[in-house]
């Protein structure tokens, strides 16, 4: 039986009890049966939630481990590129060609600003200002708890299911 079916059954049962359609001595047995179904279903769902939480945590840990491995590999790549680049430049080589690879340099340009603060003062027309708007939710929550009122903001009490 599905959880919503148990809910519907309980609601029908409650209605029948109110209307006097069920005998008093059958009420306790029927209620116990419905509650047993509910407890079993809720227990199974809670176990599934715990299993999925554990799986999500394992995935999260694996993501972190993979990101760390990726960073290590990227650093190793950069170190080897720097190593071979420095060696080629020291020896005056601009190109190495083998059966499997061709190593050569291509020219590129990169901007290097030695003193960013001075540059921004000297050339203010080139400076861009980014504004990020956000509501300090913790601060607003604290103010609401202290009795301050804001139009469009309220504290809402929630019921969060906890599974242990």
Q: How many angstroms separate the CA atoms of 36 and 34, rounded? A: 5
Assigned domain for 67 exists:
yes
Assigned domain for 128 exists:
no
pLDDT (tens digit per residue) in 77-132: 999 999 999 999 999 999 999 999 999 999 888 888 999 999 999 999 999 999 99
Assigned domain for 92 exists:
yes
Assigned domain for 99 exists:
yes
73: domain range? 3-106
Q: Which two tokens stand for residue 27?
A: 């009420």
Assigned domain for 146 exists:
no
**Which helix (DSSP H) or strand (DSSP E) does residue 157 occupy?**
none
Is residue 35 pLDDT above 90, yes or no?
no
Query: Is the whole-model pTM more than 0.75?
Result: no
How many domains does one find in the chain? 1
- What pLDDT is recorded for position 125? 94
């Amino acid at each position: 039986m599905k959880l919503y079916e148990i809910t519907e059954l309980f609601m029908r049962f409650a209605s029948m009890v109110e209307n006097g359609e069920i005998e008093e001595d059958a009420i306790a047995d029927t209620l116990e049966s419905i509650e047993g179904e509910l407890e079993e279903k809720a227990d199974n769902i809670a176990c599934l939630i715990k299993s999925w939480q554990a799986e999500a945590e394992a995935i999260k840990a694996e993501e972190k481990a993979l990101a760390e491995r990726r960073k290590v590999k990227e650093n190793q790549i950069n170190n080897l590129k720097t190593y071979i680049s420095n060696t080629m430049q020291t020896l005056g080589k601009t190109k190495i060609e083998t059966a499997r690879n061709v190593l050569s340099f291509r020219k590129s340009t990169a901007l290097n600003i030695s003193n960013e603060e001075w540059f921004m003062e000297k050339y203010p027309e080139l400076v861009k200002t980014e504004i990020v708007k956000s509501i300090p939710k913790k601060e607003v929550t604290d103010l609401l708890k202290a009795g301050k009122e804001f139009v469009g903001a309220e504290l809402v009490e929630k019921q969060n299911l906890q599974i242990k």
